[in-house]
Amino acid sequence: MINKNLNSTDYETFINVIRKRRSVRRFEKGRSISRQVLERIAEAGRWAPSGANVQPWDFIVVEDPEMRDRVVEVFLRQADRLKKYAKGFPSVYKSYLNNTVAIFIVLGDRRWNINFPHGVTPESEADYQQNNENIFYCSIGAAIQNIQLAVTANGLTSAWLSGGGEQQTNDELSELLGYPPFLRAYGTIPIGFPAKDVSSRYRRPLQQVVHWNRYEAEKFRTDEQVQFYVDSLRPFAMYRNKTELSEWEDFEEKLGEWQEAFTTDRTNPSGKLPKLLPP
Ligand SMILES: Cc1cc2nc3c(=O)[nH]c(=O)nc-3n(C[C@H](O)[C@H](O)[C@H](O)COP(=O)(O)O)c2cc1C
In the DSSP assignment, the letter for residue 80 is H
Could you tell me if 78 and 211 lie in one domain? no
pLDDT at 4: 62
Q: Which residues pair with 62 in a beta bridge?
A: 103
pLDDT at 6: 64
Among 192, 227, 254, residue at a domain's last position: 192
Report how far residue 67's alpha carbon sits from residue 70's, in angstroms, rounded to the nearest whole number. 5
pTM: 0.94
φ/ψ bin of 62: left (φ > 0), alpha (ψ from -120 to 50), beta (otherwise): beta
- Which residue, by CA, sits nearest to atom 27 of ligand 1? 22
> Residue 197 domain-assigned?
no
Cβ atoms of 68 and 105 closer than 8 Å = no
- Which residue, by CA, sits nearest to atom 9 of ligand 1? 161
Does residue 161 line the site of ligand 1, with CB under 6 A? Answer: yes
Does residue 23 line the site of ligand 1, with CB under 6 A? Answer: yes
Pocket test for ligand 1, best of 18, 162, 196 (most atoms within 8 A of CB): 162
Could you tell me if 51 and 186 lie in one domain? yes
Kindly report the length of the chain. Answer: 279
pLDDT at 272: 95
Question: Quick one: angle between helices 122-153 and 8-20, nearest 10?
Answer: 100
> Residue 19 domain-assigned?
no
Does residue 106 line the site of ligand 1, with CB under 6 A? Answer: no
CA of 142 to the centre of ligand 1 (A): 14
Does residue 185 line the site of ligand 1, with CB under 6 A? Answer: no
Could you tell me if 241 and 121 lie in one domain? no
> Residue 181 domain-assigned?
yes
- Which residue, by CA, sits nearest to atom 11 of ligand 1? 161
Cβ atoms of 6 and 14 closer than 8 Å = no
pLDDT at 175: 98
pLDDT in tens, the chain (279 residues): 556 666 788 999 999 999 999 998 889 999 999 999 999 999 999 999 999 999 999 999 999 999 999 999 999 999 999 988 988 888 777 778 889 999 999 999 999 999 999 998 988 888 899 999 999 999 999 999 999 999 999 999 999 999 999 999 999 999 999 999 999 999 999 999 998 878 899 999 999 999 999 999 999 999 999 999 999 999 999 999 999 999 999 999 999 999 999 999 999 999 999 988 877
> Residue 3 domain-assigned?
no
Could you tell me if 127 and 212 lie in one domain? no
Does residue 200 line the site of ligand 1, with CB under 6 A? Answer: no
Cβ atoms of 142 and 131 closer than 8 Å = no
CA of 238 to the centre of ligand 1 (A): 8
- Which residue, by CA, sits nearest to atom 7 of ligand 1? 161
pLDDT at 93: 75
Could you tell me if 30 and 133 lie in one domain? yes
> Residue 41 domain-assigned?
yes
For residue 247, the enclosing domain spans 206-263
